[in-house]
Amino acid sequence: MTPPTLAKGRYQARIAETEADIAAAQALRHLAFAGQGESDGDAFDARCTHYLVEEVETGRLVCCFRILPLTDGREIDRSYSAQFYELSALAGFKGRMVEMGRFCVHPAHHDPDILRVAWGAMTRYVDENNVEMLFGCSSFKGTDEAGYLDAFAMLKERHLAPRRWWPRVKAPSVFRFAQALRRQRPDMKAAMLAMPPLLRSYLMMGGWVSDHAVVDRQMNTLHVFTGLEIDAIPPARKRLLRAVAQ
């Protein structure tokens, strides 16, 4: 078994090294996204590095994600996200980029330290490889936007992408929340309660999103393109992340 890339308290993060490791990640992904214990493999799995977060004592897999490094924005069409979003604006990004995808936590485990260890492992990778942007698709469970209107209104009001990186519509089925909710003021408490934990983490670090959500019936999710420029992370937040990553 690969030595952990990061061990903190009850959890450790490591890079998958065997087919069994990746199969376990695929099963967890399917459980988290579709509610069943079958596989969730796709063509991108072979191109990615997979991270596993496990309980130290039991070895139980509690979280996983995969990363796809890109030299710069000229490779953006290689990404999973580019299937769903028109990302030509990001082709001009000059620095190293990493797509973080299929991030999920086991639905029976709610310890916030799981997310901290996952972000600690990602922070270590970012620092060691001089990554300048993280991006990916952040998912809301289900395909009905009705339960998430405050969250989408908050995204519209506070967190839309900079114009220079603006993701445009490509998928056939989308919810154009910035347009549909242009007059709606969000209930901030309700918005944060409805916000997926991964997206909430991105936003706390200065992340931004597309002005529309893709309706992904295959994954049973609504997802928004999410970007995070590393230089935009507030210094205090960087210190916290790096403290976990040590």
pLDDT in tens, 70-109: 999 999 999 999 999 999 999 999 999 999 999 999 999 9
Residue 37 confidence (pLDDT): 46
Average pLDDT score over residue span 122-145: 96
Residue 5 confidence (pLDDT): 78
To the nearest whole number, what is the mean pLDDT of the chain? Answer: 94
Q: pTM of this prediction?
A: 0.94
Residue 147 confidence (pLDDT): 94
Average pLDDT score over residue span 196-204: 94
State the sign of the Cα–Cα–Cα–Cα dihedral 104, 110, 113, 116: positive
Residue 34 confidence (pLDDT): 74
Per the listing, tokens 């309660």 go with: 193
**In contact, 50 and 16? CB cutoff 8 Å:** yes
CA 198, distance to chain mean position in Å, is 6
Tens of pLDDT, residues 139-164 = 999 999 999 999 999 999 999 999 99
Whether 7 has a pLDDT exceeding 90, the answer reads no
Euclidean distance between CA atoms 206 and 200, whole angstroms: 10
Residue 219 confidence (pLDDT): 85
Quote the longest CA-to-CA distance of the chain. 53
Residue 238 confidence (pLDDT): 92
Residue 39 confidence (pLDDT): 63
Tens of pLDDT, residues 28-73 = 998 888 754 456 788 999 999 999 999 999 999 999 999 999 999 9
Domain spanning 6-245: CATH 3.40.630.30? yes
